[in-house]
């Protein structure tokens, strides 16, 4: 891959990747920041402070440097874990409570580097903060590359990055005005005469019921000291929609305290344009198979707990327990639907056999029992036992690592299930993602959901919050018990927490801090 000059071969064996036309100028900064000598090539003496002066960024210029593939992968995985935490809370109101919840989760998952961006005068914090800003900058561009491939991925990435930007705006309000200057956004300050002319309208708007905080009720006298920006209404749609600004002839009068809404809008527009440009250069990434493979698999990487079956585990199930477990609500909707289809048609197509077979393996069904289970179902219809042994047992043995590549394949996580394509007549995939709302509603009713909870889950799925919809369904069908991770990360997690209850939060977080991420198996 090259955005700039072709990088030289690395003497330590790795091939550095060039990020931009001004490559080979950042390594010293990175070493100062403690990322390690082996990660970057070709230094100059610029400082991190000069390169990353802003806490908040619009990520306009790609970073110019050579970076080792391993470092690239590490940074991408860190940001992916970070954005998935942001996603967990994406359906909440964006208020102080939201900021606190996200911050707590980020800190407990060992990702505080992505929010510790402000030295705030603490000793020895400065260098760490500039290192963190550099990490943030690099990881954004790496993930942007990986997530520019399809419409769905672009939409997800933009939405999570916008929420990240919003979070930082709320965490660091003192730097917002400086950002408008740094990026020369040209927001026009309202003249004193305009403020005077509309002072009553402005006071009424700012004191209106649409603004929750009443503690600083304004008067006509005090409004004269306030600063406002005049902005076209199309650039402040959020504020117009929520009736928080005074609008006159297409111009909104935005108080300086609401500048974050304008910046967020700018951020989103720029990122939307830039990610489309990134998508255009993707076909040129034909230099290195490892890079292409890494980028194309990134979105499917799983960053949660490992549900590959443990040979020493005492958790085992027998074929005859499968249907009762499904009927008692221990299976998530995706697995419930496949089990129901199997009971009705006595057959599953190839992708469903993979997805469902690996799930059953993960909850403790042994290989011999899996063969017994599927043979029992398939031979109830058109498949005779000889045909089953000839055509279907190989796939089951393959899942358990006994045939083919002999790999202990992991059960598929939600990301892997949600992002797969589902053909006509197939029942694999995630019902929240792959089924029409009416059909989904039918499945949910069968799972015992009704009333407000039913509508809430269907709406979440319609809005694209598939894993949140799944965890909401879990809560509604488990007497208020919540999943330990707020959104469903893995079908086997759903099963385990349904059957055994959730792990203690402290244990989950400790396990995550030490977690080695796992490559999702594709075959
Ligand atoms: S969110 Fe995950 S567990 Fe829930 S139905 Fe979709 S794939 Fe299955």
Q: How far apart are CA 480 and CA 107, in angstroms?
A: 26
Query: Does residue 244 share a domain with residue 137?
Result: no
Q: Which of 432, 446, 485 to mutate to test the pocket of ligand 1 (most atoms within 8 A of CB)?
A: 432
> For position 361, what pLDDT does the model report?
93
At 398-412, the pLDDT tens digits run: 999 888 878 888 899
Of 94-108, 265-279, 403-417, the least confident: 403-417
Span of 6-15, 145-154, 184-193, 481-490 with lowest mean pLDDT: 6-15
For residue 11, what pLDDT band results from cuts at 50, 70 and 90? very low
Q: Which of 418, 464, 491, 492 to mutate to test the pocket of ligand 1 (most atoms within 8 A of CB)?
A: 491
Task: Give the Å distance between the CA of 488 and the centre of ligand 1.
Answer: 7
User: Residue whose CA is closest, atom 2 of ligand 1?
Assistant: 414
Q: Which atom of ligand 1 is nearest to the CA of 429?
A: 7
Kindly give, in sequence order, each residue whose CB lies less than 8 Å from that of residue 323, ignoring residues fewer than 6 positions away: 339, 343
pLDDT tens profile 437-451: 999 999 999 998 999
Atom of ligand 1 nearest to the CA of 493: 3
Query: Ligand 1 mean position to 221 CA, how many Å?
Result: 56
Give 413's Cβ-side CA count (13 Å radius): 19
pLDDT in tens, 453-477: 999 999 999 988 899 999 999 999 9
Question: What pLDDT score was predicted for residue 453?
Answer: 92
8 A C-beta contact, residue 292 and residue 285: yes
For ligand 1, residues with CB inside 6 Å are: 332-334, 414, 417-418, 430-432, 466-467, 470, 488, 491, 494
Tell me if 160 is assigned to some domain. yes
- Rounded Cα gap, residues 300 and 493, in angstroms: 17
Q: Do 494 and 474 have their domain in common?
A: yes
Quick: pLDDT tens for 328-351.
999 999 999 999 999 999 999 999
The pLDDT, as a whole number, for residue 354 is: 93
Nearest CA residue ID for atom 6, ligand 1: 430
Looking from the CA of residue 467, the nearest atom of ligand 1 is: 1
Residue of 87, 419, 494, 520 to test ligand 1 pocket, by largest number of atoms within 8 Å of CB: 494
Q: Which residue has the tokens 């599927």?
A: 374
Average pLDDT of every residue of the chain: 79
Distance 268 CA to ligand 1 centre (A): 29
Clarify whether residues 363 and 495 are in a common domain: yes
Which residues have CB under 8 Å from 343's CB, separation 6+? Answer: 323, 377
Same domain? 507 vs 413: yes
Which atom in ligand 1 lies closest to the alpha carbon of residue 432?
6
Does 337 lie in the same domain as 416? Answer: yes
Q: Which atom of ligand 1 is nearest to the CA of 430?
A: 6
Q: Whose CA is nearest to atom 1 of ligand 1?
A: 467
Q: Which residue, 98, 138, 108, 103, is CA-closest to 118? A: 103
202 and 172 in a single domain? The answer is no
Q: How many CB atoms lie within 10 A of CB 517?
A: 16
| Concatenated DSSP letters of 130-199 | HHHHHHHHHHHHHHHHHTTSSHHHHHHHHHHHHHHHHHHHHH-GGGHHHHHHHTT--PEEPPHHHHHHTH
Shortest-distance Cα residue to atom 3 of ligand 1? 491
339 and 218 belong to one structural domain: no
CA of 464 to the centre of ligand 1 (A): 13
Q: Which pLDDT does position 280 carry in this prediction?
A: 84
What pLDDT does residue 47 have? Answer: 61
DSSP 292-337: HHHHHHHTT-B-S---SPPTT----B-HHHHHHHHHTT-S-HHHHH
State residue 378's pLDDT score. Answer: 92
Q: Which among 14-23, 292-301, 384-393 has the top mean pLDDT?
A: 384-393
Does a structural domain hold residue 90?
A: yes
Residue 399 located in a structural domain: yes
189 or 351: which leads in pLDDT: 351
Residue from 467, 476, 495 to probe ligand 1 pocket by mutation (most atoms less than 8 Å from CB): 467
Residues 216 and 121 in one domain: no
How far apart are the CA of 417 and the centre of ligand 1, in A?
7
In contact, 315 and 29? CB cutoff 8 Å: no
34-38, 177-181, 340-344: range with lowest mean pLDDT: 34-38
In a domain, 207, yes or no: yes
Ligand 1, atom 8: closest residue by C-alpha: 334
Smallest Cα–Cα separation from 456: which of 439, 478, 437? 437
Positions of E strands within 356-415: none
Mean pLDDT for 163-190 is: 85
| Cross-strand partners of 229 | 189, 254
In a shared domain, residues 244 and 146: no
Residue where the block lists tokens 């977080």: 509
Contact 326, 335 (CB under 8 A): yes
Across 40-54, 94-108, 250-264, which has the greatest mean pLDDT? 94-108
115 CA distance to ligand 1 middle (Å): 30
Determine if the pTM surpasses 0.75.
no
- Which ligand 1 atom is nearest residue 412's CA? 7
Q: Report CA dihedral (284, 288, 292, 293) to the nearest 10 degrees.
A: 160
Q: Which of 258, 285, 309 is the last residue of a domain?
A: 258
* Domain span at 246: 186-258
Stretch 64-82: mean pLDDT: 84
Here the CATH number for the domain that contains residue 95 is 1.20.930.80
- Indicate the number of domains in the chain: 3
Tell me, yes or no, whether 498 lies in a domain: yes
Choose between 351 and 183: higher pLDDT.
Answer: 351
Distance 385 CA to ligand 1 centre (A): 32
What pLDDT is recorded for position 13? 33
Check: CB of residue 159 under 8 Å from CB of residue 173. no
223 CB neighbour count, 10 Å cutoff: 20
My answer on whether 370 and 492 are in the same domain is yes
| pLDDT above 60 (res 49) | yes
Phi, psi of 502 (to 5 degrees): -75, 150
Ligand 1 atom at minimal distance to the Cα of residue 466: 1
In a domain, 64, yes or no: yes
For residues 216 and 157, membership in a common domain is answered with: no
Kindly state whether residue 472 falls inside one of the protein's structural domains: yes
Q: How many helices and strands in the chain, by DSSP H and E?
A: 25, 7
The average pLDDT across 60-88 equals 85
Q: Is residue 11 part of a domain?
A: no
Q: Is 88 exposed, middle or buried (0-12, 13-18, 19+ CB in 10 A)?
A: buried
Which residue among 488, 489, 497, 520 is best mutated to probe the pocket of ligand 1, counting the most ligand atoms within 8 A of its Cβ?
Answer: 488
- Specify whether 109 is located in the same domain as 236: no
* Contact in structure between 204 and 243 (CB atoms under 8 Å): no
Burial 228-247 (b: 16+ CB within 10 A, else e): bbebeeebbebbeeeebbbe
Which is more confidently placed, 230 or 213? Answer: 230
Query: By mean pLDDT, which of 103-107, 177-181, 323-327, 346-350 is the weakest?
Result: 177-181
Atom in ligand 1 nearest the alpha carbon of residue 491: 3
Mean pLDDT of 279-295: 74
Could you give the CA distance from residue 26 to residue 48 in angstroms, rounded to a whole number? 8
Distance separating alpha carbons of residues 492 and 498, to the nearest angstrom? 10
Question: Distance from the CA of 415 to the center of ligand 1, in angstroms?
Answer: 9
Residue pair 103/172 in contact by the 8 Å Cβ criterion = no
């Amino acid at each position: 891959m090259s955005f700039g000059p072709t990088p030289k071969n690395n003497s330590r064996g790795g091939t550095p990747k060039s990020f931009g036309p001004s490559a080979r100028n950042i390594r010293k900064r990175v070493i100062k920041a403690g990322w390690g000598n082996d990660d970057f090539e070709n230094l100059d003496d610029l400082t991190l402070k000069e390169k990353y002066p802003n806490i908040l960024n619009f990520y306009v210029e790609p970073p110019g440097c050579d970076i080792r593939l391993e470092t690239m992968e590490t940074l991408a995985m860190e940001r992916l874990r970070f954005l998935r935490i942001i996603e967990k809370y994406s359906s909440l109101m964006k208020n102080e409570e939201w900021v606190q919840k996200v911050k707590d989760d980020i800190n407990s998952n060992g990702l505080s580097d992505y929010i510790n961006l402000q030295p705030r005068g603490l000793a020895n914090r400065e260098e760490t903060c500039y290192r963190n800003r550099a990490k943030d900058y690099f990881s954004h561009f790496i993930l942007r590359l990986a997530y520019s491939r399809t419409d769905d991925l672009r939409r997800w990435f933009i939405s999570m990055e916008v929420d990240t930007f919003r979070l930082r705006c709320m965490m660091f309000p003192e730097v917002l005005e400086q950002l408008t200057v740094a990026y020369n956004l040209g927001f026009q300050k309202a003249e004193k005469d305009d403020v005077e002319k509309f002072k009553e309208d402005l006071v009424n708007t700012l004191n209106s019921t649409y603004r929750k905080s009443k503690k600083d009720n304004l008067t006509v006298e005090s409004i004269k000291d306030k600063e406002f920006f005049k902005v076209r209404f199309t650039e402040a749609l959020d504020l117009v929609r929520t009736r928080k600004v005074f609008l006159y002839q297409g111009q909104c009068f935005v108080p300086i305290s609401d500048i974050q809404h304008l910046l967020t809008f700018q951020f989103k527009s720029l990122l939307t344009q830039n990610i489309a440009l990134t998508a255009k250069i993707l076909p040129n990434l034909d230099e290195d198979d490892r890079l292409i493979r890494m980028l194309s698999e990134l979105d499917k990487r799983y960053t949660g707990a490992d549900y590959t079956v443990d040979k020493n585990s005492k958790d085992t199930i027998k074929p005859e327990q499968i249907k009762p477990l499904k009927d008692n609500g221990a299976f998530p909707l995706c697995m419930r639907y496949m089990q129901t289809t199997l009971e009705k048609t006595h057959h599953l197509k190839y992708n469903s056999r993979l997805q469902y077979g690996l799930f059953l393996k993960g909850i403790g069904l042994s290989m011999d029992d899996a063969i017994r289970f599927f043979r029992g179902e398939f031979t109830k219809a058109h498949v005779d036992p000889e045909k089953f042994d000839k055509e279907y047992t190989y796939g089951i043995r393959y899942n358990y690592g006994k045939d083919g590549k002999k790999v202990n394949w992991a059960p598929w996580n939600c990301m892997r299930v949600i992002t797969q394509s589902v053909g006509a007549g197939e029942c694999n995939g995630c019902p929240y993602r792959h089924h029409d709302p009416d059909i989904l509603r039918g499945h949910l009713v069968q799972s015992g959901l009704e009333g407000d909870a039913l509508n809430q889950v269907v709406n979440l799925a319609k809005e694209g919050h598939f894993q949140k919809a799944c965890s909401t369904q879990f809560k509604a069908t488990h007497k208020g018990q919540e999943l330990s991770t707020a959104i469903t990360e893995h079908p086997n997690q759903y099963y385990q927490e349904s059957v055994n209850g959730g792990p203690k939060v402290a244990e989950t977080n400790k396990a995550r801090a030490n977690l080695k991420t796992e490559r999702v198996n594709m075959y």
